[in-house]
């Protein structure tokens, strides 16, 4: 191995170490968020005001349980949301808030308003 080869290898190793350090930082941030994320209660879930959401994706990136998916606007998977409220503070448009949640709420609302289940995505 020539001096030049060693120099190249050293540069590659340094680049790999830098990449690993970066990934480690991301993992540490995720771990720290997961540790901070405490369920307020099973009865609280995040809700998105679709009129305010601009689909920036900040909430999706920061949710510790990956409960949010953003296509045009953010959608919350209530089964994965633990009601920690992290996304509420992260949204730049104030489009997310926590609301009390009861199991079967959508079904009850559909019955109350006489709306068909398929319209609520329950069909």
* Distance (Å) of CA 54 to CA 47, 73, 75: 14, 6, 12
Q: Is 101 in the site for ligand SF4 (CB under 6 A)?
A: no
- Close Cβ partners of 16 (under 8 Å, ≥ 6 residues apart): none
From the list 74, 86, 80, 77, the residue with the least C-alpha distance to 38 is 86
Out of 15, 19, 22, 57, the only residue in the binding site for ligand SF4 (CB under 6 A) is 57
Out of 47, 69, 93, 110, the only residue in the binding site for ligand SF4 (CB under 6 A) is 93
Contact residues: ligand SF4, CB under 6 A: 46, 48, 53-59, 63, 65, 67-68, 70, 73-74, 76, 81-87, 91, 93, 95-96
């Amino acid at each position: 191995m020539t001096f030049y080869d060693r120099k190249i290898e050293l540069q590659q190793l340094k680049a790999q170490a830098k990449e690993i350090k970066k990934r480690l930082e991301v993992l540490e941030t995720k771990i720290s968020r997961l540790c901070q994320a405490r369920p307020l209660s099973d009865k609280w879930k995040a809700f998105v005001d679709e009129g305010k959401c601009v689909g920036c994706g900040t909430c999706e990136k920061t949710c510790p349980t990956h409960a949010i998916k953003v296509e045009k606007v953010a959608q919350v998977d209530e089964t994965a949301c633990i009601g920690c409220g992290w996304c509420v503070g992260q949204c730049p448009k104030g489009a997310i808030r926590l609301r009390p949640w009861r199991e079967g709420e959508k079904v009850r609302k559909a019955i109350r308003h006489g709306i068909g289940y398929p319209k609520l995505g329950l069909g």
